[in-house]
Structure 1
Amino acid sequence: MRNRHFFFFDILLLLATPFLALVLRLETFHLHETLFFVPLMVYTLCAVIVYLCSFYITGVYSRYWAEASIHEFLSSCIVIVMCSLVLIAITFASRIYFTQSTMYPFVYLKNLPLSVPFIHSILTLLAFLSVRFSLRSAQHVHAYKAASNGGRKTLLIGSCNIARTVMKNTLKTNHVYGFLDDNPKKRGMKIEGKPILGSIDSIASVVEKYHIEEVIICLPDLTGMVTQKIVTAVKKYKIEVKVVANAYKIVASNDFPAYEIRKINVEDLLQREAIVFDMAKVQEQIQGNTVLVTGAGGSIGSELCQQLLSLNPQKVILLGHGENSIFKIHKKLQKQTSVELIPVIADIRFPHKMVNILQQYSPNIVFHTAAHKHVPLMEDNPGEAIDNNILGSYNLLQACVQSDVEKFVLISTDKAVNPKSIMGATKRIAEFFVHWTARKYDRAYVCVRFGNILNSRGSVIQTFEQQITEGGPITVTHPDMERYFMTIPEAAQLVLQAFSLGKSGDIFILDMGNPIKILDLAKNLLALHGIGEDEIAINFVGIRKGEKLYEQLNYEKELCDKTTYPKILHVNNTTSPFTEAEEVIAKLKQLRDENQKESIVNFFRELIPEIEI
């Protein structure tokens, strides 16, 4: 049995408190042997049996009282009250039913005053809780003294239940000075003995006054703007800023012990209000179906496959031309699901191969994430950009039509809007072919336009991280360069939601808020690493081929309407510049083989008048 020391204490308690209750009732220590002493012994025996059995059955001796909470307090009160009612019932019954010698020894209870069980229950409750919660207090005092002497000086942002849980657990290693909270009604109050020192706006002065070494953000409704404000305010002090991961989910599930504290990352600086998706609607269309994902080993493709598994598809086909990336994602997902996973090594540039694969596995749904995406590289290899991004997409679309694929989603980019690069132009023409195919064959084939994806393979974040690790300098193309950003999970969720909303030839974009300057991103990364801007230089190297200072999400002629989800926009007025695809495809194949950039750009201008190359 755990808590044996409490078990033996309870025995002593239950032997002593009936006597004390009777003494308080009679206001004397002199008890008449027959009149009161024998009834007291019978009552004490009953109390020991009733209480100890109840404590054991209800798990009182399996609880960790050093971390007892209001739950333990209330449950203990309920158990003791129930035991008291049983003893009161026994005492009361002795006066009515236990009057004959055959009911020995209960017959003696008739002499016991009825008030004794009431007094006894109060004394038992006070003694029971005092001993147990004094242990909890002693543990906290010991932890507080230990943390005060050698722990990191810590400040908590927020004062919700998560913050309280974090404080209790960090007291063992950290010296928590208090909380910051924007609720004016809480100003000057204390939580678990720790003061609320001010609002979030006062963080710099609090950090300086108390020489804070670590800040932990415990806000369930945390936004990128608030995170940015906190990081910027403490940047000059070079202290560590951490966050409770997925705090809003913890609050929603009421599972406060299951939290994780991690360092702030660049995604936290971008974090917007949580977008509420109708995953039930998505699951309704995914469940039981076979889904094929191209580029399944890439950043978006792998996250998309991960999220698909929770929607109960019958099969997921992981298609890609890089064997290592497909091998890795296949092994990773196998550990997480019983859904059938089919890894396929293939290249979308080969039309017959695409037809064979789709007819062999008969997918109902295709998500097309495979593409060449590096702008400067595609400027030097325009033929490859045509072959993969346009002709590969066309091959896949035709195979989908021949195999009666019901739904198709193309991953496009904001670089397809008024394109200044070969890559952007190829993605715009791929959008045209999706629209043309959807309208010609009356299929639910749609496009989704993304901004830049944070921490995707080869992204600017990874470049900056490597440069910081190497000691700098950080290279930024232009001080005014800015981009729209979204996280990898956001991108995958947008794809799934667009899939559920999409009809014939639709284009969807995510309302990504305001664009972010690349220079600010570099400065924020330095701050997150605790590095001052005077320690690592930021050099401007000039705009690269194909790049624009600013990106746009839609053309001027395109109208954006809100969907049932406020953060997802539907693009109207998109049409294909051709009525038949065969001649366009033949010309693109010719240009691919010739690989002459000037000829390619001239033909692109015929299809995309807004092109800026």
Structure 2
Amino acid sequence: MKQLIQDRQLFMRRIFLMCYDMLAVFVASMFALIIRFDLNFYNVPTEYLNEVWRTLPYMMVITLIIFWALRLYSSLWSYAGALEMMYVVSACILDAIVVAALILVRNWGDMFPVPRSFYILYGLFLLVLIMGCRYSYRGLRAIRNMRRDGTYRRNVLVIGAGEAGNQLIKEINNSRYVKKKVVGVIDDDKTKIGNYIHGAKVIGDRSCIRDKVLELHVHEIIIAMPSASPKQMKGILDICKETGCELKRLPGIYQLVNGEVGISKLKDVDVNDLLGREPVMVNLESIMGYVSGKVIMVTGGGGSIGSELCRQIAGHKPKQLIILDIYENTTYDIQNELKVKFPDLDLVVLIGSVRNTNRMNWIFETYHPEIIYHAAAHKHVPLMEESPNEAIKNNVLGTWKIVQAADRYHVKRFVMISTDKAVNPTNIMGASKRICEMIIQTYNKRSETEYVAVRFGNVLGSNGSVIPLFKKQIERGGPVTVTDPNIVRYFMTIPEAVSLVLQAGAYAKGGEIFVLDMGEPVKILDLAKNLILLSGHKPDEDIQIVFTGLRPGEKLYEEMLMDEEGLQDTENNLIHIGKPIELDEGKFLEQLEELKEYVVTEPSDIREWVKKIVPTYQPKEE
């Protein structure tokens, strides 16, 4: 029914335009004669009027045919731009030429059936009338858009007077759905200041952003600088975030190249933009040959790191990709995503626990994985402090069992995801991961399988990380909770961390602990303040920041290496190799057996046993 109504409206609109165009032909031809004779209709010779009257029906038919051929009845005139204007001009010029030819052919031998100026004046008047009609659609929309629901639209300041800003302002002005009004444009190019873009004035450079926001009552700032470097973007954001305005930006330069600049492509400014560093770039094409044609298994494949591993591996044509996870909801999500993106991928999705020996043996015997990425683990520090036995059961015993299965079934390479919290651990999660690294080191010497570990810090936006927590707290109106004003952490994005994990896997020869360069540490308090500012609020005025004290097992800062470890470089200057620490492997395996038997009794003092295995473990309360 809705489609029928729309079709009928379109049909009536075309009929109206055709009727108007026939009237325009009549008016243009009459005016062309009257202008020639000093605007006095009675001075026009009868023979000229008769000729125009006789030719008028043919002129109307010719006009309708030409206008139809040049799509003047199928364009959306509410959004008319330069291309539609070109069609109108071309149609009117062609119409005037054909009409002139028609009159001259009909009056062959008579050199002046109408005045010579008639042809030019007719074409000009027709152009004015047609342009006035078609572009009045845009004018009416502009007037209607001045007010919406009785109130003015949100005032917007656009930063960037380049092509992206030009397209963005044009779309804001033309769209019936966007309740925004561009009140000014900012650009550092002095030659652009004072000029106008679609009615919006370039009012100054970045130094005047704060003043102009107050002066023009700006509600929202849109950054239209798709080619800006992270450093340039951070400089702009450091100014904009102090204004209290809502911030949005265009995602990237490819949007401009593909002609996709528009309101629908805007996204909220993210805290990633405030890291102020270039994203870590890894040429995976050059190093991912080692997964192509192989059977790959990712444990914990439904988690933040595991799912991104699956995405990047799936794009490099493995023979088969096996996702193993105990939590079915996120695993179901990544399964559906990969099926859509990679319909030809041989994908196997299994639910199971790495702690289940029989389940692991069945999986290895059935699918024979050649490379394993072990991302399954309990990683939440405070929760594991409350349930230390579960940290040992899942992280240590789970890793041990899958490492044994990899040895038993001759897996070629085993890459374990570790953490900077394994260095001089103060919490049970970090200590459990340190034991996992020791298992990797021990079994690498006893097996044909190449066992390696990759150690890195916090991942922005991962499940359970601080950024999603802060965002939820801000949405609720605060307060935002920070444990300590001096706490710092290393951060990477999920794709960055995973791409480096994959490259480390390519470098693996067995026994290494790869350490990823996480850049400069970031203060958690600064992250909290920036997120509040980017949400259009002021810290400690609109949204309160509350310090709750360090949680059990939490450090003020994390380390990437222990004192005993040295660093070796790799081809990638962001990936280093920590020198393995010597350990008594026989004694270590005995301790593991004892730990396995002891932890299932649900002891209350598992930390004392862990300290015997990991001498660098110092629980926080000590």
User: Is the shorter-chain TM-score for this pair beyond 0.5, marking a shared fold?
Assistant: yes
> Alignment partner of 1:389: what SS?
helix
Matches within 5 A, 1:170-209: 170-171=172-173, 173-209=179-215
Q: CA deviation at 1:229?
A: 6.0
Matches within 5 A, 1:449-488: 449-465=455-471, 474-488=480-494
Letter in 2 for 1:589: E
Q: TM-score, normalised by structure 1?
A: 0.78
CA RMSD of aligned residues (A): 4.6
Q: Is the 8 A contact 1:296 1:320 kept in 2?
A: yes
Residue from 59, 65, 74 that aligns with 2:77: 65
> Alignment partner of 2:135: what SS?
helix
List per-residue Cα deviations over 1:286-335 (Å, max 9, x = no partner). Answer: 66665432112222223444555555666543311234443455466666
Aligned counterparts of 1:536 and 1:39: Cα–Cα separation in 2: 76
Aligned counterparts of 1:576 and 1:246: Cα–Cα separation in 2: 45
Q: Is the 8 A contact 2:450 2:510 kept in 1?
A: yes
Aligned counterparts of 2:610 and 2:65: Cα–Cα separation in 1: 87
Question: In the alignment, does 2:550 pair up with 1:543?
Answer: yes
Q: CA deviation at 1:23?
A: 8.0
What is the match of residue 602 of structure 2?
A: none
Aligned counterparts of 2:579 and 2:27: Cα–Cα separation in 1: 86
What is the match of residue 101 of structure 1?
A: none
Residue from 131, 134, 137 that aligns with 1:135: 137
Q: Is the 8 A contact 1:510 1:569 kept in 2?
A: yes
State which drifts further: 307-316 or 518-527.
307-316
Q: CA deviation at 1:64?
A: 1.5
Residue from 609, 615, 618 that aligns with 1:605: 615
Aligned counterparts of 1:60 and 1:136: Cα–Cα separation in 2: 15
Q: CA deviation at 1:6?
A: 2.8
Residue from 151, 158, 161 that aligns with 1:159: 161
Residue from 544, 567, 576 that aligns with 1:558: 567
Q: Is the 8 A contact 1:451 1:484 kept in 2?
A: yes
Residue from 239, 242, 247 that aligns with 1:242: 247
Q: CA deviation at 1:232?
A: 5.9
* 1:212/1:391 CA distance change after superposition, 3 Å: same
State which drifts further: 67-76 or 470-479.
470-479
Residue from 312, 319, 326 that aligns with 1:321: 326
State which drifts further: 177-186 or 20-29.
20-29
Letter in 2 for 1:7: M
Letter in 1 for 2:19: F
Aligned counterparts of 1:17 and 1:504: Cα–Cα separation in 2: 86
Residue from 579, 586, 591 that aligns with 2:595: 591
Aligned counterparts of 2:413 and 2:87: Cα–Cα separation in 1: 55
Q: Is the 8 A contact 1:207 1:234 kept in 2?
A: no
Aligned counterparts of 1:4 and 1:290: Cα–Cα separation in 2: 64
* 1:128/1:405 CA distance change after superposition, 3 Å: farther
Q: CA deviation at 1:573?
A: 5.3
Q: Is the 8 A contact 2:298 2:323 kept in 1?
A: yes
Letter in 1 for 2:558: E
List per-residue Cα deviations over 1:70-119 (Å, max 9, x = no partner). Answer: 233345455666x469849x949x99xx8xxxxxx596798779997677
Q: TM-score, normalised by structure 2?
A: 0.77
Q: Is the 8 A contact 2:32 2:122 kept in 1?
A: yes
What is the match of residue 10 of structure 1?
A: 21
Q: Is the 8 A contact 2:218 2:245 kept in 1?
A: no
Aligned counterparts of 2:164 and 2:441: Cα–Cα separation in 1: 48
Letter in 2 for 1:600: V
Q: Is the 8 A contact 2:568 2:579 kept in 1?
A: no
Letter in 2 for 1:259: S
Aligned counterparts of 1:448 and 1:33: Cα–Cα separation in 2: 95
Residue from 429, 433, 456 that aligns with 1:427: 433
Q: Is the 8 A contact 1:286 1:311 kept in 2?
A: yes
Question: In the alignment, does 2:579 pair up with 1:570?
Answer: no
Question: In the alignment, does 2:302 pair up with 1:297?
Answer: yes
Aligned counterparts of 1:472 and 1:427: Cα–Cα separation in 2: 34
Aligned counterparts of 1:224 and 1:416: Cα–Cα separation in 2: 31
Mind listing any 5+ residue stretches in structure 2 that lack a counterpart? Answer: 1-10, 600-605
Aligned counterparts of 2:514 and 2:578: Cα–Cα separation in 1: 12
Taking only the aligned residue pairs, the percentage that are identical comes to 32
* 1:59/1:364 CA distance change after superposition, 3 Å: farther
Aligned counterparts of 2:463 and 2:190: Cα–Cα separation in 1: 44
Aligned counterparts of 1:78 and 1:281: Cα–Cα separation in 2: 53
Letter in 2 for 1:349: R
Letter in 1 for 2:591: K
Letter in 2 for 1:551: E
Question: In the alignment, does 2:152 pair up with 1:150?
Answer: yes
What is the match of residue 528 of structure 2?
A: 522
List per-residue Cα deviations over 1:363-400 (Å, max 9, x = no partner). Answer: 45433221121234445655544443344334334434
Q: CA deviation at 1:516?
A: 1.3
Aligned counterparts of 1:110 and 1:79: Cα–Cα separation in 2: 26
Q: Is the 8 A contact 2:516 2:576 kept in 1?
A: no
> Alignment partner of 2:264: what SS?
coil
Q: Is the 8 A contact 2:486 2:523 kept in 1?
A: yes
What is the match of residue 102 of structure 1?
A: none
Q: CA deviation at 1:415?
A: 2.5
> Alignment partner of 1:242: what SS?
strand
> Alignment partner of 1:61: what SS?
coil
* 1:309/1:218 CA distance change after superposition, 3 Å: farther
What is the match of residue 540 of structure 2?
A: 533
Q: Is the 8 A contact 1:270 1:486 kept in 2?
A: no
Aligned counterparts of 2:230 and 2:205: Cα–Cα separation in 1: 17
Matches within 5 A, 1:327-366: 327=332, 329-330=334-335, 338=343, 339=345, 341-366=347-372
Q: Is the 8 A contact 2:250 2:267 kept in 1?
A: yes
Residue from 374, 379, 384 that aligns with 1:373: 379
* 1:469/1:21 CA distance change after superposition, 3 Å: closer
Letter in 1 for 2:419: T
Q: Is the 8 A contact 2:231 2:278 kept in 1?
A: no
